[in-house]
Amino acid sequence: MKKAKYLISALLVLMLSAVAMPVMAIGPEQAAEVGNNPNLSIPTGNPRLDTPSGVHNLWTSVFNHWIDASKGGGKMNNAVIVGPTADVTLTYLLKHLSEYENTWIYFTQIGFTAFLIYGQGMDPDEAEDTAELYPDGIYWHFVNVG
């Protein structure tokens, strides 16, 4: 009889938690449009999430993951370094980009500026302004999802 009480109590707690969990998981709808999440934006029709820790995520046909090198914490010590005297030149990287999918890539501030201009087609002044936000460089990781 005692076992039945414990079993019924356990099932009741399990049922209540199963009902409450989906309600707790629902977040704000249209967070970017109504301004509930200042870190979420949709600048080019693609969602972008900028976290306070320096991690930037952009979803297009390629999932892009950017991390400020000063906040990387040594997590990407095996990153491919891009530069004129580094592991890989920017020209080689852009021609053989698929070889580096799902690999961490490190750009210096100057290398990141060049990548934004030649790899992303960004205006040179805008590229320089963007790269100045990352004086220690930036790590990039991408995965083709499209």
Euclidean distance between CA atoms 128 and 66, whole angstroms = 17
- Range 55-62, long-range pairs (CB < 8 A, 24+ positions): 59/145, 60/146, 61/144, 61/145, 61/146, 62/142, 62/143, 62/144, 62/145, 62/146
Positive/negative CA dihedral, 83, 123, 37, 57: negative
pLDDT of residue 48: 74
pLDDT digit string, tens, across residues 78-125: 888 887 777 788 888 888 888 888 888 899 888 889 888 888 888 999
Euclidean distance between CA atoms 115 and 94, whole angstroms = 9
**Pick from 66-70, 74-78, 109-113: least confident:** 74-78
CB hemisphere CA count around 79 (13 angstroms): 23
pTM over 0.85: no
Euclidean distance between CA atoms 114 and 123, whole angstroms = 11
pLDDT digit string, tens, across residues 16-25: 676 655 544 4
Query: If we measure between CA atoms, which residue out of 103, 72, 66 comes closest to residue 88?
Result: 103
Euclidean distance between CA atoms 88 and 109, whole angstroms = 16
**Listing from the earlier edge strand, what are the strands of the sheet with 55-59?**
40-41, 48-50, 55-59, 62-68, 138-144, 105-107, 80-82
| Amino acid, res. 90 | L
